[in-house]
């Protein structure tokens, strides 16, 4: 039978994962591009919330960390979707300010001041969006890594083997049950419950 990872190992890898996420946040904060202010604000808000939830308890509990990390995956994917759509809008030659305003009206972006985009070329705007797409892919991978580290330290889940997959350029996580232990139904119920907690 597979043994769970020790709490010391969990804490070591969790701390490392949090440092890496903090580094990604710092990189994001150093990105300043006219016209992308509402997107950057949304990305920063999401990443700040993730960092807070994954480190808010003094005694970090692997099960709580796993639940929190999994609950953020839909948000991470939603921001990736936004970046991809903005990139497509730029490729079509759409006005980025008008596109952002539409997204704000739809509630996809927080209301924020949009800088003048006349100072940046379409090519540069595309490059800046690609930078954010790459950064967000790393953020998603880091959150998945945090969840994988946590699940390896929960005794009742020790028979569940997490796997990180790449679906195209997008990281995803899957699970495979090994031998005896928690049933797949129990695990799916846990995932559904965690997602509901993230939505409240």
The residue ranges of every structural domain in the chain are: 7-199
Q: Is the pLDDT of residue 183 over 60?
A: no
Q: Lowest mean pLDDT: which of 69-83, 109-123, 130-144, 175-189?
A: 175-189
Could you give the CA distance from residue 34 to residue 56 in angstroms, rounded to a whole number? 33
Q: Is the pLDDT of residue 184 over 80?
A: no
| Across 137-151, average pLDDT | 89
* Cβ neighbours of residue 173 closer than 8 Å, sequence gap 6 or more: 73, 144, 147, 148, 162, 163, 164, 165
What is the value of pTM for the model shown? Answer: 0.78
| Across 132-143, average pLDDT | 93
**Residue 87 CB coordination number (10 Å):** 17
Residue with tokens 């889940």: 157
Residues in the chain: 200
| Across 112-131, average pLDDT | 76
| Percent above pLDDT 70 for the chain | 73
Residue with tokens 């809008």: 89
The pLDDT, as a whole number, for residue 199 is 43
């Amino acid at each position: 039978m597979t043994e769970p990872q020790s709490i010391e190992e969990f804490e070591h890898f969790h701390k490392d994962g949090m440092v890496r996420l903090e580094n990604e946040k710092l990189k994001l904060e150093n990105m300043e591009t006219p016209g992308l202010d509402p997107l950057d604000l949304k990305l920063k808000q999401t990443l700040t919330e993730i960092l807070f939830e994954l480190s808010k308890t003094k005694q970090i509990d692997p099960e709580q960390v796993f639940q929190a990390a999994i609950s953020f995956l839909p948000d991470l994917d939603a921001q990736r979707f936004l970046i991809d759509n903005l990139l497509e809008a730029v490729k079509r030659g759409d006005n980025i300010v008008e596109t952002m305003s539409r997204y704000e009206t739809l509630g996809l972006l927080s209301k924020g001041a949009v800088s003048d985009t006349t100072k940046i070329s379409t090519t540069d705007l595309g490059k800046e969006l690609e930078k954010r797409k790459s950064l967000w892919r790393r953020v998603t991978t880091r959150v998945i890594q945090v969840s994988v580290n946590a699940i390896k330290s929960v005794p009742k889940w020790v028979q569940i083997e997490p796997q990180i997959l790449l679906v195209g350029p997008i990281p995803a996580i899957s699970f495979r049950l090994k031998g005896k232990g928690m049933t797949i139904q129990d695990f799916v119920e846990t995932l559904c419950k965690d997602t509901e907690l993230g939505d409240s």
